[in-house]
Structures are given as C-alpha cells and as structure tokens.
C-alpha cells in the first residue's frame, strides 16, 4: 500500500484510532522506537494504555544518561509491557574503542558519525528489518528541516512507511498530555534538555538557543545529524 492511499484511509481518525488502524492493517509488521524523551513517553502511553499491539523498542547505545535508564525501568513497572532493546554489535564497538578510544567522537565529524552508525544506525536497521510501519516521536516544530515533512511518509533508506502520530503537537501539547496522564518522564527535561541522547553528546540548551543546540554542540550546526531519520529531498536527517 502506498503512502497516499494510506493517508486517505487515515483521514478523519484521531491519534488512537490511527494507531489502532495501522496496528491491525500491518499486524506484526509495525514498530515504535523510543528514546524515552517527552514525545516518546507520550506515544508509549498511547500504545500501552490502550493495549494497541505495536512492538516498542529502544536503541541501547551503552552511553545513555542514568536518568534515561530510570525512566526506562519505571515505564516497564507502570505498564508491565516489554520494551525491546537493540545493542551495538560487540565486534564493531570494541574495534572502534580499541582503535580510537572511548571518546573519539569529539575529535572529528567523521569519528562522531562512525560512533552514531555503530551505536544507533546499525542496531536500528536490525530493529526495523521485516517491518512495514515505523512509528516515531518526530514533531514538525522541532527543527527547520522537519517543517517540510509530513506525519506519514516513505522512508527510502529503510524501505518502509514512517508515521509520526504527534507530528502536529506543540511542545506545550506534549507537556500537557504528560501532566494530565501522570506519565513518567525524564527529569533532564526540567534542567534544560529538550532533546536527550547519549550522555557524552548531549548538554542543556541555554535560553534563546535552537532546540537541537545541545546535541553535538562542538560541531558546526549544519553537520548535526546522525542518520536515524531521512527525507528524500534533503538526504539524511536525524532525531538522534
């Protein structure tokens, strides 16, 4: 089924109805990726609290914040449903660290992208294999390169359809939903971290800075991508 046809079938449905419809139509071939940030916790609640049969997974890079692990564990306790972890391949990560050290990503964009590939991109490929729908927490207002995206789109690189169920939500919408539903969230958000990735590559954002200024802050703004998300028009774009 093509993206445009699917868009037509989803017209008029609310967020939960869209998730249910996709879970039924693509049973066993639909997956949601969470990094335990605000947006992903909201979507996890939508899926788990409504018993929608969508597999939830996360990329365990080995460099996450302690606060992220806390949210992960509390989410398991609250919903009593599995979150599948995908790890980097031992051989690849060991070779990188043995050859270049544990913090090589600070030394060059190439080294940082290599680390992103080993810890995130390659495990993501394994997680997505065999699926037809990939659900993400992308929102339009998160960065300029996402304003031209749509809530339903074809991912050429991964050869599947991506659905962003809260694409049109504002950050205030997300925060309100979390508060109203008493959803556990990462307390780093309260300390100036709008986007939370690997601990060595994420810092708090200062007032007036761009949403993604805290990611790979030592790099040129135009290079701040890791390849998790892509658009046909602009090449590789990342949520990270």
**What structural domains does the chain harbor?**
3-189 (3.40.50.620)
Q: What is the pLDDT of residues 82-102, one digit of tens each?
A: 999 999 999 999 999 999 999
Cβ count near 179 (within 10 Å): 10
Q: List, in order, residues 6 or more apart from 15 with CB less than 8 Å away.
A: 46, 165, 166
Predicted pLDDT of residue 150: 83
Residues 134-164: tens digit of each pLDDT:
999 999 887 555 456 789 999 999 999 999 9
This prediction's pTM: 0.89
The 3-state DSSP class for residue 86 equals strand
Hey, what are 154's tokens? 């074809």
Question: Known catalytic residue: 38?
Answer: no
Token look-up 């990611």 returns 215
Point out the catalytic residue in the list 178, 226, 228, 230: 226
Q: How far apart are CA 238 and CA 230, in angstroms?
A: 7
How far is it, in rounded angstroms, from Cα 239 to Cα 213?
13
Greatest pairwise CA separation for the chain in angstroms: 54
Q: Residues in the chain with pLDDT < 50?
A: 146, 229-240
Instruction: Give residue 70's pLDDT.
Output: 98
Rounded to an integer, what distance in angstroms lies between the CA atom of residue 56 and that of residue 44?
8
Instruction: Report helix, strand or coil for 17.
Output: helix
Q: Taking each helix axis as running N to C, give the angle between helix 171-180 and helix 38-49, from 0 to 180 degrees, rounded to the nearest 10.
A: 50
Binding-site residues for [4Fe-4S] cluster sit at 115-116, 198, 201
pLDDT of residue 238: 35
Which residue is listed with tokens 């790890």? 87
Q: Residues annotated in the binding site, as ranges?
A: 115-116, 198, 201
């Amino acid at each position: 089924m093509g993206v445009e046809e699917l868009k037509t079938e989803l017209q008029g449905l609310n967020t939960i109805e869209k998730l249910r419809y996709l879970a039924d139509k693509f049973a066993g071939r639909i997956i949601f990726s969470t990094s335990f940030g605000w947006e992903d916790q909201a979507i996890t609640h939508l899926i788990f609290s409504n018993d929608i049969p969508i597999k939830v997974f996360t990329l365990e890079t080995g460099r996450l914040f302690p606060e992220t692990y806390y949210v992960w564990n509390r989410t398991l306790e609250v919903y009593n449903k599995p979150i599948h972890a995908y790890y980097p391949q031992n051989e690849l990560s060991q070779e990188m660290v043995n050859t270049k050290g544990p913090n090589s990503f600070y030394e060059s964009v190439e080294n940082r992208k290599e680390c992103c590939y080993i810890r995130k991109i390659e495990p993501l490929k394994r997680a997505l294999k065999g699926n037809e729908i990939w659900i993400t927490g992308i929102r339009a207002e998160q960065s300029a390169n996402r304003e031209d995206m749509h809530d339903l789109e074809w991912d050429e690189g991964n050869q599947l359809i991506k659905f962003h169920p809260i694409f049109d939500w504002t950050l205030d919408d997300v925060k309100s939903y979390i508060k109203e539903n008493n959803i556990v969230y990462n307390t780093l958000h309260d300390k100036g971290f709008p986007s939370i990735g690997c601990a060595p590559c994420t810092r708090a954002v200062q007032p007036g800075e761009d949403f993604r200024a805290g990611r790979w802050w030592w790099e040129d703004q135009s290079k701040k991508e890791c390849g998790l998300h892509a658009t046909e028009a602009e090449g590789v774009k990342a949520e990270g």
